Structure 1
Amino acid sequence: MGSSLSCCNSEKDDEGLYVGEGKNSSSPWRIFTYKELHVATNGFSEDYKLGEGGFGSVYWGKTSDGLQIAVKKLKSMNSKAEMEFAVEVEVLGRVRHKNLLGLRGYCAGNDQRLIVYDYMPNLSLLSHLHGQFAGEVQLDWKKRMKIALGSAEGLLYLHHEVTPHIIHRDIKASNVLLDSNFNPLVADFGFAKLIPEGVSHMTTRVKGTLGYLAPEYAMWGKVSESCDVYSFGILLLEIVTARKPIEKLPGGIKRTITEWAEPYITRGRFKDLVDPKLCGNFDENELVQTVNVAALCVQSEADKRPKMREVVALLKGEDLNPKGGSMRIKSVKYGEDLMALDQESDDEGNGYEDESSVYGVFGALDTQKMKDPYYKGYGDRR
């Protein structure tokens, strides 16, 4: 892929080109012109910026036909950025599932690389657990369980139903986006790996977010479907507890969520794990079930973790008695060198403290402040 994706420049026809079937709607995905995206985002205005990360920036936009979009604009076109762009477009072009953020379109011409998605009005799971919506507690227990199951079903599709199979490699709260009904859509496939038939694992450079990384991947670069399973287990614990995957304690000491949760799980004190902001409003059977699944997913030995098929079945309440069905977990401790890298990300404002840099596709900007280029004044974005 890469530069073969040439499709637009600022002189091209404003209409763009329709080239495929939609992933999350009946509309086809499109090849956009740069001019279209420039107008839709008001010239990539700072007022329209949703988030920013190492890859570049993401902007809210509205097309001439009224479609709300999010536009990921890559910062620079070095070989690494070109590869991640090509991978994401290729993967997005393959996936068709209600719990995966599909491709709305892209633009690749001259020195510009942009990917277009549908805009998600409820931003990300991260924004509700740790960010701007955390104090409002919009995520009740029922919504959290819907998000957990939907995210698992999206991963099941990637691992077992699409060919070749896809390993996401960056499952985290900022990459689980929420639509207007709080349905989850797993997003951001820039680190994804396509796995050929018959290949169980690969060795590669480590990419992802510390705290979610499986130990065999973080330490030795061994990547397999079970790495996503581990990350999903961390995500489950995060959904239940609203605690960060890595938290800083007094004195600069850092603790993973598994280290914090392990004694509670071992002693069967599941209620002590629940986000206190829920004020005790949760289903105890679902709590036990969800924590049990999380404990299975975050086992340190990859071959003892369940497959995503089993994870989905267990979250639905089926009793499969998967391998390693104990309620005990052995918390993973990352090496000091890895934790030092996490320290650097905190110091540079690239960790959880800087919400706008970690939302994946969507950031924490108040969208009501953004001017609609197709409305005189500030438009109604419902």
Structure 2
Amino acid sequence: MSIKQNPLTTRKSMSIPAFFSMLLCLMFIAVNSSALPGCQNKCGNMDIPYPFGIGKGCALPWFGVNCNTNNFTVTSNDLGNLQILTFLPGEIRINSSRWIAYDCNNSASIPLRINLIGTPFTISNSLNKFVAIGCDTLGLVLDNSSFASGCMSMCLNRESVKSDGSCSGIGCCEVSLPKGMEYAALATASINNYTNVSNFDNCSYATIVEEESFKFFEPDQRNFLKQKDLVIRFDWIIGNESCTIAENSSSYMCTENSYCVDAPRGYGYLCNCSEGYRGNPYLNASAGCQDINECAESDPCVPSAHCKNFVPGYKCTCPFGRSGDGTKLGSGCTNHARIILIILVVCVGTGLIVGLSSMIYYGLKKRKLMKLKEEYFYKNGGLLLKQHVSSIEGTKCTTIFTSEELKKATNNYEESRVLGRGGYGTVYKGTLVDGSIVAIKKSKVVDKTQIDQFINEVVILTQINHKNVVKLLGCCLETEVPILVYEYISNGTLFHHIHGNSSSTLRISCANRLRIATETAEALAYLHSAASIPIFHRDIKSANILLDENYTAKVADFGASRLVAMNETEIPTVVQGTLGYLDPQYLQTSQLTEKSDVYSFGVVLVELLTSQKPVSFQRSKEYSTLAAYFKTSTENKDIREVLDEDIVREGRMEEVEAVVQLAWKCLRVKGEKRPTMKEVAQELGAITRFVPSSQAWFQNEEEMECLLERPQGNPSDESGLSIQNNLNMSLEIGR
């Protein structure tokens, strides 16, 4: 740095606010400044904070200072031996009493140049100002690039000069400085060669001073070169890199608990202690940024608040009944005890009212629900079922489940638990409390006029004990429509295995098909003749024959079943069943007999033989039903063309032909000419042991009667048709 100046002395005045500001700054520096370990950290009463330092290795380049032990003044090694008055974060205050440019009448003009180029220092533009003093004065200030400015100061006489400390153009004028000023050239001159002011003012002055501390008064005009305490502020920075670059550099100066701030000039940076910390951000360990115990040092809380120190920071907590931030400079602690008490009483009262109301509401709701469950239980024949259960001894009786048990078992009838949907209801997979897996059927409707018969059927079906009949485990009568609980069969329906996607199902071998047919026939024979009360299933179809993991057949879904008195052979009913499986004689007469199940079984037998669906509109209109197609095809074609190719490839044709002949018998139009299920079961059992003697395959006398024709109606899809004339049947093949 180079400074060309005159060696004259100067003086300045300081206001009371400026004094207190200076005092605070000095206090801040006294607490925060410290030197490198092993270095002198004071000069008299002045702390020397790093990066400044006294002696070799104790300061950064350009930050070395000397301590004059005679008067304990600090001067800069690198700034022309200038006296440093104060060290501040990012700033220094320097005595600038010698830095005055002046011009006097009858003498040469003395300019001033301040050159800080190449140093970490700049003239602060926010804290300094350029001033020119005189009554016939033009002051100029320039930098080394494009900045040039100045001002004029005029006055008529000394009395016209204001004595209020302002610098308004009468005796004194001022100009702001540009940002990042590294070089300043100052000059002054007379506007009119002092012609009009020579009797009271013969000189003009120009300088840069600290704006806060400089106040102009009329005596200064006459003795400005004698000022001794003029001050100028320099900004300083670390390095010439931005924070982003410096943080990744080995020379980065900011230490623990501090942060980096980019310098305003566009390059270089400064370090500051983080909020709640104090110390020297350029030093480590105890000399660096340490937590401030605000509670102990500054007592920031109001007397009623409790102060707790944190690292970093603190918190003032108001006592109970008072609110606010608890600080002296904030909202303090306001007494709200009465308001809080009122709010507390209102909240507690409201809570009690809401709580009691909720208890009463849910109590009434629970009572209503229990009453409704009890009402459903009685309407659905609960008492009658209990009487039946209590009268049965020696065998496993019907289990009466509660609605909550079944809701829990199905996770509130979750959609993912659905096993299937059919015309009579939806079946869910459930897990009981004991871990057993069951199938739970929620029916859609129940005939309220037939409750007694329904209960009687439940009791009878529960007692059925046959390996090829799905076991009815119990029921729930607490819902509007009774819920039935069956044993769970894991491998799906026969319909799915015959007609399902071949990629998702295993092909059933010829031997397994024959076994499934035999097991189904034995189950139906048991229901018709061996059960305590004969049971006509009324909806035999491949979708109601389930297969377990071993492909054992299980007859299921007794939703349409009817119990038969021992002395009855046929029952008048509303026609129910599934199109394609319906007995044509039952369809015409509405008289249900055991032979109706035989006909439906015959269709299932044909399904097993052909792997074709019971109803298909891909076939011609007159052969849309499988029974009609099968009879006509086996009568007119080679039997191999009708059968499933796997059966032709795997089976012995003698056995297959015997099964075909049996299917013909089951599909006879007149029921009395069909075999019983017991006879069917026996014949299927015999087929597996020997090939029956040759007999005529077909009996033509009545087989092609009009009853064999497809019932009149409107087709809907491949799985069912709409039928008029008071027919009530399921139109779904799948359950």
- Is 1:343 aligned with 2:721? yes
Shift of 1:325: 6.2
What's the secondary structure of 2:472's corresponding residue? coil
- For residues 39-70 of structure 1, the C-alpha deviation after alignment (integer angstroms, 9 at most, x for no partner) is 11111000111112233211011122221111
Shift of 1:217: 0.5
Deviates more, 1:283-292 or 1:69-78: 69-78
The CA distance in 1 between the partners of 2:572 and 2:410, in whole Å, is 40
| Equivalent residue, structure 2, for 1:4 | 381
- Is 1:359 aligned with 2:734? yes
Structure 1 residue identity aligned to 2:399: R
For residues 101-140 of structure 1, the aligned pairs below 5 Å read: 101-132=470-501, 136-140=505-509
For residues 281-320 of structure 1, the aligned pairs below 5 Å read: 281-317=650-686
Kept after mapping to 1: 8 A contact 2:640/2:648: no
Structure 2 residue identity aligned to 1:63: L
Distance 1:91 1:170, change over 3 A: farther
Distance 1:261 1:33, change over 3 A: same
Identity %: 31
Shift of 1:161: 1.1
- Is 1:71 aligned with 2:440? yes
- For residues 272-330 of structure 1, the C-alpha deviation after alignment (integer angstroms, 9 at most, x for no partner) is 222235572223222111111100010111111111121112112269999x9643462
The CA distance in 2 between the partners of 1:166 and 1:233, in whole Å, is 18
Shift of 1:138: 3.3
Distance 1:310 1:280, change over 3 A: same
What's the secondary structure of 2:616's corresponding residue? strand
What's the secondary structure of 2:602's corresponding residue? helix
- For residues 310-359 of structure 1, the C-alpha deviation after alignment (integer angstroms, 9 at most, x for no partner) is 1112112269999x9643462521331386794349xxxx755xxxxx43
- Is 1:199 aligned with 2:576? no
What's the secondary structure of 2:439's corresponding residue? strand
What's the secondary structure of 2:563's corresponding residue? strand
**What TM-score does the superposition give when structure 1 sets the normalisation length?**
0.78
- Is 1:237 aligned with 2:237? no
The CA distance in 2 between the partners of 1:174 and 1:110, in whole Å, is 27
Shift of 1:170: 0.7
Deviates more, 1:197-206 or 1:262-271: 262-271
Decide which structure has greater strand share: 2
The CA distance in 2 between the partners of 1:180 and 1:105, in whole Å, is 23
- Is 1:156 aligned with 2:525? yes
Distance 1:216 1:339, change over 3 A: farther
The correspondence for 2:399, drawn from 25, 30, 33, is 30
Larger relative contact order (Cα-Cα within 8 Å, sequence gap ≥ 6): 1
Q: Rg bigger for which structure?
A: 2
Shift of 1:112: 4.6
Structure 2 residue identity aligned to 1:199: E
Shift of 1:225: 0.8
Distance 1:254 1:286, change over 3 A: closer
| Equivalent residue, structure 2, for 1:364 | none
What's the secondary structure of 2:721's corresponding residue? helix
Shift of 1:31: 1.8
- For residues 243-293 of structure 1, the C-alpha deviation after alignment (integer angstroms, 9 at most, x for no partner) is 111111378776111222123322572222222355722232221111111
Shift of 1:133: 5.8
The CA distance in 2 between the partners of 1:87 and 1:133, in whole Å, is 42
For residues 213-292 of structure 1, the aligned pairs below 5 Å read: 213-249=582-618, 255-267=624-636, 269-276=638-645, 280-292=649-661
Shift of 1:192: 1.5
- For residues 154-204 of structure 1, the C-alpha deviation after alignment (integer angstroms, 9 at most, x for no partner) is 011111112321111111111111111111111111221222223222222
The CA distance in 1 between the partners of 2:502 and 2:669, in whole Å, is 33
**What TM-score does the superposition give when structure 2 sets the normalisation length?**
0.42
Shift of 1:32: 1.6
The correspondence for 1:56, drawn from 425, 450, 456, is 425
| Equivalent residue, structure 2, for 1:377 | none
Count, aligned residues? 339
Distance 1:328 1:338, change over 3 A: farther
| Equivalent residue, structure 2, for 1:327 | 698
Decide which structure has greater helix share: 1
Deviates more, 1:241-250 or 1:268-277: 268-277
The CA distance in 2 between the partners of 1:219 and 1:62, in whole Å, is 43
The correspondence for 1:184, drawn from 553, 560, 575, is 553
Kept after mapping to 2: 8 A contact 1:74/1:81: no
Kept after mapping to 1: 8 A contact 2:610/2:642: yes
The CA distance in 1 between the partners of 2:565 and 2:462, in whole Å, is 17
Kept after mapping to 1: 8 A contact 2:536/2:597: yes
The CA distance in 2 between the partners of 1:193 and 1:57, in whole Å, is 21
Question: Alpha carbon RMSD of aligned pairs, Å?
Answer: 3.5
The CA distance in 1 between the partners of 2:483 and 2:632, in whole Å, is 46
Kept after mapping to 2: 8 A contact 1:56/1:73: yes
The CA distance in 2 between the partners of 1:109 and 1:2, in whole Å, is 9
Kept after mapping to 2: 8 A contact 1:84/1:191: no
Distance 1:154 1:53, change over 3 A: same
The CA distance in 2 between the partners of 1:153 and 1:196, in whole Å, is 21
Deviates more, 1:263-272 or 1:249-258: 249-258
The CA distance in 2 between the partners of 1:344 and 1:30, in whole Å, is 38
Structure 2 residue identity aligned to 1:286: E
Structure 2 residue identity aligned to 1:192: S
| Equivalent residue, structure 2, for 1:165 | 534
Distance 1:144 1:186, change over 3 A: same
Shift of 1:86: 4.0
Shift of 1:232: 0.8
Kept after mapping to 2: 8 A contact 1:141/1:283: no
Distance 1:82 1:283, change over 3 A: farther
- For residues 104-128 of structure 1, the C-alpha deviation after alignment (integer angstroms, 9 at most, x for no partner) is 2211124251111111111111111
The CA distance in 2 between the partners of 1:51 and 1:19, in whole Å, is 35
The CA distance in 1 between the partners of 2:427 and 2:663, in whole Å, is 32
Structure 2 residue identity aligned to 1:173: S
What's the secondary structure of 2:650's corresponding residue? coil
Distance 1:115 1:340, change over 3 A: same
The CA distance in 2 between the partners of 1:305 and 1:51, in whole Å, is 33
What's the secondary structure of 1:144's corresponding residue? helix
The CA distance in 2 between the partners of 1:320 and 1:159, in whole Å, is 27
The CA distance in 1 between the partners of 2:584 and 2:562, in whole Å, is 18
The CA distance in 2 between the partners of 1:140 and 1:123, in whole Å, is 17
The CA distance in 1 between the partners of 2:722 and 2:434, in whole Å, is 44
Kept after mapping to 1: 8 A contact 2:612/2:626: yes
The CA distance in 2 between the partners of 1:234 and 1:299, in whole Å, is 11
Distance 1:22 1:214, change over 3 A: farther
- Is 1:89 aligned with 2:467? no
Kept after mapping to 1: 8 A contact 2:468/2:553: yes
Gaps of 5+ in 2: 1-377, 724-729
